[in-house]
A and B are shown apart, each in its own frame.
Chain A
Amino acid sequence: MLLKIENLTKSYSGPDGRVPVLQGISLSLDAGETLALTGESGSGKSTLLHLIGGLDHADGGRILVGGQEVTALDDAGRAALRRGMVGLIFQQFNLIPSLTVRDNIRFQARLAGREDPAWAAALTDALGLTEQLTKYPEDLSGGQQQRVAIARTIAARPALILADEPTGNLDEDTADRVMDQLTRLVDEAGATLVLVTHSSALASRMARQCHLSHGRLS
């Protein structure tokens, strides 16, 4: 079992008091599984992803990633988890503008202490980024930037990849190509993927689908 979530709760303060976002979520995923998380805007999809990735604190319940209890970790422990086991892909790409494409791709793998130039070169080639390596993120199109973000994540060989609307900022054709590449590479890497999406077509590409509504999974 790579990911295990038990009775997870989370709420935020609002003008009228605490607003529940997640209400007793339980979920488990085996290594290599893929899961699509769908739901309306504000249903708590991103919040769930952030909690799994150790970006945010849960109010209650437990999250275990690779046997490590994320909810019991302190700030440094959660940072170490993100470096070692988790890879995050965002809708806004979140590349580091001061680094070249090559350095962005190497960045997370080097942080994790798992740099593998051959694997990085293979990814670069597979994602069609070979010509872009010396460029900076500002010089790339949206699709190219997202492919760099994918390469950066997969190059680090994380056990768990959390992708939050990775094609939300891309046109349909580009989105299709990027998703093809992402799913193929995740498969090759043997990683577990949790994909947050609005698109039912994208969701259908995942082995499992869960719908989040009013803070509950269905």
Chain B
Amino acid sequence: MIAAALSSLWSYWRRNPLQLATMIGGLALATALWSGVQALNTEARASYDAAAAVVGEGRYDQLVPRAGETLDEATYLALRRAGWQVSPVLVGSLDLGEVALHLTGVDPLTLPAGAGAAGQVAAVPLAQFLAGEVMLAHPADLAQFGTAQSIDLIASPAITQGMALADIGAAQRLLGQAGAISRLVVAPDQPLGRPPLAEVAPELLLQPAQGGSDTAQLTDSFHLNLTAFGILSFAVGIFIVYGAVGLAFEQRRAMIRALRTMGLSMRFVVVLLGAEIAVISLVSGAIGVVLGYLLAASLLPDVAATLRGLYGAQVAGTLQLHPSWWLSSLGIALLGGILAAASAIWRMSRLPLRAGRDPQVWAMQSARGQRLQLVLGLALLVLSGGFVVAGGSLLAGFARVAALLLGAALLLPPLLEVALHVAQRRARSVTAEWFWADTRQQLPRLGLALMALLLAITANIGVSTMVSSFRLTFIGFLDQRLIAEVYVSAETDAQSAAIEALADDGITVLPLLSVETRIGPQKVDLYGARVAPVYEQYWQFLAQDGDVWSRVAAGEAAIINEQFARRAGLWPGDSIPISPTVTLPIAGVVGDYGNPLGQVIIGEELFITLFPETRARQFGLIGGGADALMARLEAEAGFDPAQMIDQTALKAASLEVFERTFTVTSALNVLTLAVAGAAILMSLLTLASMRVPQLASVWALGVTRHRLGQLELARAVALAVLTLLFALPLGLALAYLLLAVINVEAFGWKLPMYLFPADYARLAVASIGAAALAALVPALRLARTPPARFLQVFANET
């Protein structure tokens, strides 16, 4: 019985391979986009965790310097003598020419056994490791390393690509940081009665263990962005499947009724239909996993570049096939298939045995259903506004975006219905009147595909507006920040002195003094600025109090960047503790779009007083022209050209990082639009067979097949144009949310919003083109429909 029933159900798909392809294609695309994004996230997180696990970051408490990037060995020894069970770690970038390795130096004798490095070191002879004779690196990195370094390399697949592990002594030697320690890992078991930290090493700060690594937390917002795109793409794909399943079930009503009249219970039929969906979903999911892997593999280099450029996070350049990833992808495909089919199965289960109304009529949404959709859509829009009140977090921001997009998508069909109704009323010719009326009738069936198109266009407008606004702001920011003609790195005190001496010749010398420190719970970069007229000329403040630069130069006030201001809720008039003894009022808040970290700027003299051990190694120079300055430094002070960079090159490099940052977003945008185009194509193709009876009537009344084909094409274009008109304000609303809410929560900065009509015009052409392209095949098929096909409609007349 099961075999007979299954065979009859399967016979439908055999006779309608296009619908089957639609279902599998839609679900596979949805799964691919979702799983591709998940693969990228999983890979990046695995890299952070692997990197963090080397020294147990996040798992153990750590001691870090309150100011500066390193602590000295004397402090470490003092703590050990006082009974503190701590282990030194040094991290740094080992320059290998074109590439760099993230080198971690550890002391395996004192490192807690649970730290990842302890296990990795155990695999090599300890004596060799301690003697600094060997270093562990990923096998793929061995070739990069070459033979120039005075250390043997051992391949270890357990090490993340792009990273290396050595004894701390060897790391200090390789990194040129003799005696330096980045931080101390605190063992979980400490002796009782040891003296408090403030007594032994007041310059250190205890950083408690956290759930994840710093990097993982820092990049959370980026991954949340990717996940949001993944969900959006998945939703677009599910729209396709929903439409295909609904149609397939509707067209099988007669078959289901026949099966029931022949003695199969409804429960049994529902189980069979569920099993059928499960099998199709799993097959689609498997295809989606493969596509998702290919997608992720092609996008990973750009994601890695983004994470490195924005956050300094190292991500392996190759993709691993984690079982959890492909299993979850299959799971999401199954869930998507069941979700898409649930309402169709439910409706089918309530189908009476007697014959129902005309399928086309049954397919049309009831007025009640449309009213419900309208109310739900409006409620979601109100909810989207309501989150402003609930406010406050990145998740709330994304909830606003989700409510806005979903609410607008639900409102689309009722609004289109109104627009089409108006068009029908205003139509002058009879063909036009029929065209609009017929389009209205197709709306319920095309609604889902149009919602998908709406979401795709909206996402494109929103994200492109955000990116372009960001780009304009970022370029302005670079012009403001990169005010020197040449930036020079000094390697020795003598070189620093040579640069300072240039001031005697009227050249403005701007030393870049900085330390990493903490203000309250926040990690910030503290800068000492030598106040020069160019700062007053170029820097613009988002908020200021009085003569900012004079107050900073006098050591009486500080400048902070926007992300720090927003996170800490500090604005001009408030004060911040710069050190245990110095607290300064905030004189200005400046926009900063280069990194998500907080920054504080104080006057140079005050900085030197507070951090006398910090020397400026980087300088900005103004006066005389970049080429002349660089030639002079090379000739008179022996600077290597690699130590100098002119502003133009630096700006170009910064812009390149910026552009790559958004490559992934742009790629996902294009894919989402392509999926929406596919949704329209599939909807039109599946609708084509249902519409033959109506078109046959019109054809019989004297409208040619050619004209019907033209109208079919015009219908897709008209609907795309109407959807576009709706998507434009919606996209701008989305852009506002991204710029003013999501960016603030994710990165800490609020960006001004600019409009880009030329971009929107290009997008309009692309969207309408996608819709027209999708309608081209159905239109051509209609224009070439053999009259015999139409005549079949009238074949039961006698």
Contact = CB atoms under 8 A, between A and B. Distances in A.
Contacts of A76: 704, 706
A33 interface: no
Nearest to B442: A98
Nearest to B357: A138
B262 interface: no
Contacts of A84: 702
A45 B700 contact: no
A94 B700 contact: yes
Residue in B438, B703, B707, B798 whose Cβ sees the most chain A Cβ within 10 Å: B798
Which of A81, A92, A96 neighbours the largest number of chain B CB atoms within 10 Å of its CB? Answer: A96
B797 interface: yes
B343 interface: no
A20 interface: no
Interface of A: 41, 45-46, 50, 53, 55-57, 75-76, 79-84, 88, 90-92, 94-99, 103, 106-108, 110-112, 138, 164-165, 168, 196, 198
Interface stretch (B231-239, B551-559, B689-697): B689-697
Contacts of A55: 700, 787, 790-791, 794
Interface stretch (B429-437, B448-456, B564-572): B429-437
B349 interface: no
Interface in B79-108: none
Contacts of A91: 794, 796-798
Contact of B797 (A82, A90, A99, A103): A90
Contacts of A164: 794, 797-798
Given A90-B700, A110-B429, 5 more contacts: A84-B702, A91-B797, A92-B797, A94-B697, A138-B357
A83 B798 contact: no
Contacts of A165: 797-798
12 contacts: A41-B798, A45-B798, A46-B794, A46-B797, A79-B707, A82-B700, A82-B702, A91-B794, A92-B794, A107-B430, A107-B701, A111-B703
Given A41-B798, A196-B798, A198-B798, A75 B705 contact: yes
A134 to B, nearest CB: 13
A46 B798 contact: yes
A92 B693 CA distance: 10
A90 B694 CA distance: 13
Contacts of B431: 111
B190 interface: no
A112 B701 CA distance: 9
Interface residues of B, number: 37
Interface of B: 357-358, 360-361, 429-431, 433-434, 437-438, 440-441, 693-694, 696-707, 787-788, 790-791, 793-798
Contacts of A56: 787-788, 791
Contacts of A95: 697
Contact of B704 (A75, A110, A168): A75
Contacts, number: 107
B701 A88 contact: yes
Nearest to B431: A111
A86 to B, nearest CB: 8
Nearest to B798: A46
Nearest to A40: B798
Given A79-B703, A110-B430, A111-B701, A97 B441 contact: yes
Which 8 pairs of residues, A with B, have the shortest CB-CB distance? A83-B702, A110-B430, A98-B441, A98-B437, A82-B702, A94-B697, A91-B797, A164-B797
Contacts of B798: 41, 45-46, 91, 164-165, 168, 196, 198
Nearest to A166: B797
Q: Which of A41, A79, A112, A168 is most buried by chain B, counting CB atoms within 10 A of its CB?
A: A79
A138 B358 CA distance: 8
B701 A103 contact: no
Nearest to B429: A110
Contact of A98 (B357, B440, B791): B440
A32 B107 CA distance: 111
Contacts of B360: 97
Given A55-B791, A164-B797, A164-B798, A96 B694 contact: yes
A57 B787 contact: yes
Contacts of A94: 693, 696-697, 700, 793-794
A88 B794 CA distance: 11
B791 to A, nearest CB: 6
Given A98-B440, A103-B437, A108-B701, A196 B357 contact: no
B715 to A, nearest CB: 12
A196 B694 CA distance: 22
Looking at A45, A98, A110, the one whose CB has the most chain B CB atoms below 10 A away is: A98
Q: Max chain B CB contacts within 10 Å: which of A92, A112, A196?
A: A92
B701 A99 contact: no
Given A55-B787, A56-B788, A76-B706, A107 B797 contact: no
Contacts of B704: 75-76, 79
Contacts of A99: 433-434, 437
Nearest to A153: B701
A41 B357 CA distance: 27
A81 B109 CA distance: 99
Contacts of B358: 97, 138
Contacts of B699: 79
A217 B357 CA distance: 39
B791 A82 contact: no
A76 B693 CA distance: 20
A164 B796 CA distance: 10
B670 to A, nearest CB: 35
A76 to B, nearest CB: 5
Given A55-B787, A164-B794, A107 B441 contact: no
Most buried by A among B358, B431, B693, B787: B787
Nearest to B358: A138
B348 to A, nearest CB: 21
A41 B703 CA distance: 29
B430 A111 contact: yes
A52 B129 CA distance: 98
Given A46-B795, A80-B702, A90-B797, A96 B790 contact: no
A165 B795 CA distance: 11
